[in-house]
Amino acid sequence: MGSPALNGRNNGQRLGITDPISLSGPTEDDVRKTRELEKYLQDAGLYESQEEAVSREEVLGRLDQIVKIWVKAISRAKGLNEQLVQEANAKIFTFGSYRLGVHGPGADIDTLCVGPRHATREEDFFGELHKMLSEMPEVSELHPVPDAHVPVMRFKFAGVSIDLLYAKLSLWVIPEDLDVSQDSILQNADEQTVRSLNGCRVTDRILRLVPNIQSFRTTLRCMRFWAKRRGVYSNVSGFLGGINWALLVARICQLFPNALPNMLVYRFFRVFTQWRWPNPVMLCSNEEGSLGLPVWDPRRNPKDRYHLMPIITPAYPCMNSSYNVSSSTLRIMTEEFQRGHDICEVMEENKADWDTLFEPYPFFEAYKNYLQIDITAENADDLRKWKGWVESRLRQLTLKIERHTYNKLQCHPHPGDFSDKSRPFHHCYFMGLQRKQGVPASGGEQFDMRLTVEEFKHSVNMYTLWKPGMEIYVSHVKKRNIPNFVFPGGVRPSRASKVTWDSRRSSELKASDSAQVDRPFEVAESMDGVDDRRKRMRLDDNVNTNSRNGECLVVVHSHPEEVHEVSQVSTTSSCSIKDLNSTPTSANNLENLADVSSQNNGDHGSMEVDHSTNIVSAAADTSSCKAEKLAIQKILSDSYDSHQALSSELEELDDFDYKNQAKDFGATKQGSPLMSSVANTSSVVPMTSCNEARQSSSSYSNGGLEELEPAELVAPSSTGTAPAPVAARKPIIRLSFTSLGKAGKSS
């Protein structure tokens, strides 16, 4: 049966910086599973209707006409001669999910207006064009953001959401057949123009670097859906956004050029569970270019050395598209990759289905403790502006908590926002909190987080467009006290919820006397029982936990005096499945992979593959799976020889940076006995790769998920002055660490 993957553009040329891992094609079973996947995505509502597609095309055509009228009008107003006025032109390009062909119903369209040298951004684009749009009845919700890192004008045109950027080129006349992928287009361009052009250039480059566009699109649509369901789709929150997922999927397509989408999904998880971050994901070699623009290069640029999960854009100037990733969000994503890998292995044995892979992450059941960030404003327009600003700063709160607790306390930001309908002009955000696994607790050490929260609030309140009524509040909330408005329909789900993959895996591990105690996730279901090895402090309900003034003290005890019974013990699922082997695509996969794994940067020519055999023995399946894993390891080790020296440099720099952070943080809190105690007793923990982190955390159970408890504690202020009277005390959060020595048999 003909395969769409084999009918693509892969005509023997190598795409990517390495040879493919496998050139094997699909089996009949793969064709069937891909059809099932496509139907699943269709049933999930991920494809727009034909009517909506036509409407989008009409809107784009109308928008192109508008900018052409606009540029002629401003050309005439600037006194250009009639010939230049008639030749004046502007052109609309699309990028992002729409250009990639993976957008869904109701999605906005990322667009770029390219104009001539005399059409300025400030006066003409955000001035005259904005005025034209505001006077059109089809346009609504017009919101210019000229001060953004990438200036944008957002609006709805005939009900279609548009994000419109502007690029001013050095040309007097914009040709209708302009190719924005040419590097010469960047000549004499300002920084905003370079950044605005980057989206189109990267999108077009991705489509040129994948072997089969249709397989790429289906796989990317699947991975975007998976990431949203699992809560790891949000660039602003420190996870990955649309362009990041597109680059990761494109790399998998390069490594398996003849694979169908179901195979590519499996291989996605197989590759990225083994990826050794911060090795970069690259679709092509970085180009220096002739324009002297800065490109991502950690050997030359010190700031690039601190990127934890570099995913490099393929168009000049090459940049790291995932610089927002923090140690906490990297941990969460690698754990999700592992979960996806485990499920895909079971799916290859037909023991699980797509529903299992796409189970939503139970965020509000996964942790015992959360930070709730509430924002309010006087009216809808102020709230929209305030919301956009606060969302752009939330990542800083995660980074501050990680830094000020020496990476011992990790945050899981929820990528969405919620609104209490009973409160006008209100939004709130949540972060799950837990102690980093594998970090030993030192008795009696204390972390004063009041300044952490205060610093964050201060940075937020520096908003240049701040108005009275724009307020932000940070508070600690227990799982049982999560407000009902965050749940669908405003109804808190019953505890007797359906059995999920995570809960099944947890139950299996609990039933078996396994030495595997690495449990990075806390599952959706709560199970009754008493955990005499988990120690925590009681919640004092008489203490106000609303951190309106940003006061938050975290006290860490490795041996709490009181041990309280826990009626609801939440456990976590292991990210490993034993004795399960995945099914390869064909018998020839083994031979092909053996060839790949034996190479060492040798001939890059195409490999001949015989696709005639589709039935193999179980033993061959197992061997092929192992060979593929070896080939992946080979790719990872051989592809980035130039980064080997860099890795050791990064470790030294990370360690040096942490020591400097500890020094600087202690210096900012002179006079605080709490912080001086921390600086004297806490050891500095350097960053490790995600693989090292998993190995370290595997020695401990997640039974040590701590309780953040409000308590009546007297804490010195940051200036060393006497504590306030009891009535004036500010809310305090206590963090009780379970002793790791007793966490091995939790739950």
Residue 609 pLDDT exceeds 70: no
Average pLDDT value for residue range 351-370: 94
pLDDT tops 80 at residue 220: yes
CB contact set of 74 (below 8 Å; sequence gap of 6+): 118, 119, 124, 128
Domain holding 105: CATH number? 3.30.460.10
User: pLDDT category, 495, cuts 50, 70, 90?
Assistant: low
Within-domain flag for 600: no
Distance CA 139, CA 132 (A): 10
**Does residue 550 carry a pLDDT above 90?**
no
Instruction: Identify whether 589 is part of a domain.
Output: no
Buried b (16+ CB within 10 A) or exposed e, 629-663: bbbbebbeeebbeebeebeeebeebbeebbeebbe
485 plus 563 within the same structural domain: yes
- Residue 13 is assigned to a structural domain of this protein: yes
Please confirm whether the linkage preceding 710 is cis (ω < 30° from 0). no
pLDDT for 535 equals 34
Contact 90, 68 (CB under 8 A): yes
What is the total residue count of the chain? 747
Report d(CA 348, CA 732) in Å as an integer: 50
Per-residue pLDDT band at 651 (split at 50, 70, 90):
very low
- Looking at residue 349, the DSSP 8-state letter turns out to be T
Q: Give the number of C-alpha atoms closer than 13 A to the C-alpha of residue 146, restricted to the C-beta side.
A: 12
Asked which of 217-226, 309-318, 677-686 is least confident by mean pLDDT, the reply is 677-686
pLDDT the model gives residue 370: 93
Has residue 608 been placed in a domain? no
Asked if 232 contacts 240 with a C-beta cutoff of 8 angstroms, the reply is: yes
**pLDDT of the residue at 442:** 61
Instruction: Give residue 700's pLDDT band: very low, low, confident or very high (50, 70, 90).
Output: very low
Contact 614, 28 (CB under 8 A): yes
The residue ranking higher by pLDDT, 236 or 622, is: 236
Would 634 be classed as within a structural domain?
no
- State residue 112's pLDDT score: 98
Sign of CA dihedral 114, 119, 120, 126: negative
- Cα(85)–Cα(70) distance, rounded to whole angstroms? 11
Same structural domain for residues 382 and 500? yes
- Tell whether 106 is covered by a domain: yes
pLDDT band at 705 (very low <50, low <70, confident <90, very high): very low
Tens digit of pLDDT for each residue in 19-33?
999 999 999 999 999
Q: What is the mean pLDDT of residues 648-662?
A: 41
- Assign residue 735 the CATH number of its domain: 3.30.70.590
| Shared domain check, 371 and 259 | no
Residues 193 and 328 both lie in one domain: no
Average pLDDT, rounded, for the chain: 74
Last residue of a domain, one of 202, 231, 258: 202
Residue 73: what pLDDT?
A: 96
E-strand stretches of 457-506: 471-478
Give pLDDT, residue 634. 74
b or e along 480-519 (b: 16 or more beta carbons within 10 Å of the residue's beta carbon)? eebbeebeeeeeeeeeeeeebbbbebbbebbeeeeeebbb
Confidence of residue 576 (pLDDT cuts 50, 70, 90): very low
Question: Is 620 a residue whose pLDDT tops 70?
Answer: no
278 vs 719, higher pLDDT: 278
Q: Calculate the alpha carbon distances from 252 to 232, 268, 270, 283, 335 in Å.
A: 19, 6, 10, 10, 19
Angle (CA) 599-605-607 rounded to 5° is: 75
Q: What is the mean pLDDT of residues 619-642?
A: 65
712 pLDDT band (50/70/90 cuts)?
very low
pLDDT, mean of residues 677-691 = 33
* pLDDT band at 54; cut points 50, 70, 90: very high
Structure-model confidence comparison of residues 497 and 100, the more confident one: 100
Six-digit token string for 325: 């990733």
Q: What is the DSSP letter of 570?
A: -
Query: What is the C-alpha to C-alpha distance for residues 172 and 183, in angstroms, rounded to an integer?
Result: 18
For range 365-378, the mean pLDDT = 93
pLDDT of residue 106: 94
The count of domains in the chain is: 3
Which pair of tokens denotes residue 743? 């966490």
pLDDT of residue 694: 37
Does this model's pTM top 0.95? Answer: no
Is the domain of 305 the same as that of 333? yes
Determine the pLDDT at residue 456: 95
Task: Give me the mean pLDDT over the 610-620 stretch.
Answer: 40
* pLDDT bracket for residue 284 (50, 70, 90): very high
Task: State the pLDDT at residue 443.
Answer: 55
Residue 280 lies in a domain: yes
Last residue of a domain, one of 357, 375, 407: 357
Query: Which tens digits make up the pLDDT trace of 374-427?
Result: 999 999 989 998 998 999 999 999 999 989 888 888 899 999 999 998 899 999
The answer to whether 128 and 143 have CB atoms below 8 angstroms apart is no
**In this predicted model, what pLDDT tens digit does every residue of 579-598 receive, in sequence order?**
323 333 333 332 333 333 33
Which residues is 168 bridged to in the sheet?
Answer: 115
Q: Is residue 141 included in any domain, yes or no?
A: yes
Give the percent of the chain with pLDDT over 90. Answer: 55
> How far is 69 from 381, CA to CA, in rounded Å?
29
**Domain limits for position 425:** 363-570+656-742
Q: Which of 190, 50, 23 is nearest to 590 (CA)?
A: 23
DSSP string, 266-314: HHHHHHHHH--TTSPB-SSPPP--SS------TTT-GGGGG-SS-BB-S
Q: Assess whether pLDDT exceeds 70 at residue 201.
A: yes
Enumerate residues 6+ apart whose C-beta is below 8 A from 305: 298, 646, 649, 650, 653
Lowest mean pLDDT among 171-185, 332-346, 349-363, 637-651: 637-651
Range scoring the smallest mean pLDDT among 23-27, 517-521, 617-621: 517-521
